[in-house]
Amino acid sequence: MNELQVDNLHVAIGDQQIVRGLGLTVPRGEVHAIMGPNGSGKSTLAKVMAGHPDYQVTKGKITMDGEDVLGMEADQRARKGLFLAFQYPSEIPGVTIANFLRAALQARLPEGEELEATEYYAKLYEKMELLGMDRSFTSRAVNEGFSGGEKKRTEILQLAMLEPKYAVLDETDSGLDIDALKVVARGVNTMRGPGLGVLLITHYQRLLNYIVPDHVHVMVAGRIVRSGGKELALELEERGYDWARESAGEMAVTR
């Protein structure tokens, strides 16, 4: 039951259907990748999983370790162990990274219990070192004036600090140069293990050279049209999304 499961999910924004019957299972301990062209609904899927209020789930369900997720508020999902690394993280003016993460960790403690400050900073500095971040970063306001690379690194830092059960990484590779990509990948790879299930959402195969997935899914027009091992990513890179689109078409016909 230790898995994040999406079953026959349909999502609309207004009148427009974006996700149309998507199914997916990510057990803890595995890394799954979703690849797909622009407009296939990848980012919508990520936001819906995290509980973004703008999207309307018209059908289907999402469960985490067997527990229904769709009935929970976004913050409740987060505290239960679901993490989303945003494609475009928000700026929080005046709130330092140190204070933000502290508040986030504090929110996970039972009422009346206080986060131990010394341990907290020790852990924060350790994770920052892993991600090659200078300590002075802790006193900068979250994402304010950050470069694209700094933002993505900060997302991974939060992932490392919050230690979720499941992490959805939405196009974490976009806008990164190769050095930054390697750092981010190192961060994720260090966290890989039996306690964490990862869903990598990406447009390009490049990221998967550094974070090697256990399974690859191809998403087209709001559905998974093909699933396979890591070699599927390479095949897709070679043959292009049109090939996947054709498959989707075949599926639509056969259904």
Partner 1 sequence: MKPEVKAVDIDRNKGDFHYKVDYAKDAGRGLSEKTIHFISDVKEDPDWVREFRLRGLKTFLEKPLPTHWASKDLETIDFDKIRYYLAQGAGAKRSWEEVPEDIKRTFERLGIPEQERKFLAGVEAQFDSEAVYSNIKKAVGEQGVIFVGSTEGLKNHPEIFRKWFGKVIPIGDNKFSALNAAVFSGGSFIYVPPGVKVKHPLQAYFRINAESFGQFERTLIIADEGSEVTYMEGCTAPKFETATLHSAVVELVALKGAKIQYITVQNWSSNVFNLVTKRGLAHEEAEIKWIDCNIGSRLTMKYPGVVLKGRKARGEVLSIALANNGQHQDTGAKMIHAADETTSNIISKSISVGTGRATYRGLVHVPKHLKNCKNNTECDALLINATSRTDTYPAITVRGTGNAVQHEASVSQVSSEQIFYMQQRGLTEAQAMSLSVNGFVNDLVRQFPMEYSVELKRLIELEMEGSVG
Q: State the residues that interact with partner 1 by CB under 8 A.
A: 50-53, 73-75, 77-79, 83-84, 86, 89-95, 99-101, 103-105, 107-108, 114-115, 117, 141, 158, 162
Q: How many CA atoms, within 13 angstroms, populate the side-chain half-sphere of residue 2?
A: 11
Q: How would DSSP label each residue in 60-103? A: EEEEETTEE-TTS-HHHHHHHTEEEE-SSPPP-TT-BHHHHHHH
To partner 1, the closest distance from the beta carbon of 150 in angstroms equals 16
Cα 60 from chain centre: 20
End-to-end CA distance of the chain: 30
Tokens of 115: 């986060």
**Closest Cα to residue 236, out of 220, 254, 249?**
220
C-beta separation of 190 from 182 below 8 A: no
Q: In what helix (H) or strand (E) does residue 20 lie, and over which residues does it extend?
A: strand 16-27
Least distance from C-beta 233 to partner 1, angstroms? Answer: 27
Residue 168 bridge partners (DSSP): 84, 199
Instruction: Tell me which residue of 121, 129, 219, 132 sits closest to 170, measured CA to CA.
Output: 219
Quote the CA–CA distance of 242 and 255 in Å, as a whole number. 20
CB nearer partner 1, residue 65 or residue 235 = 65
- How does strand 223-228 pair with strand 215-220? antiparallel
Q: How far is the CB of 198 from partner 1 (least distance, A)?
A: 16
CB 200 within 8 A of CB 32: yes
CB nearer to partner 1: pick between 70 and 105: 105
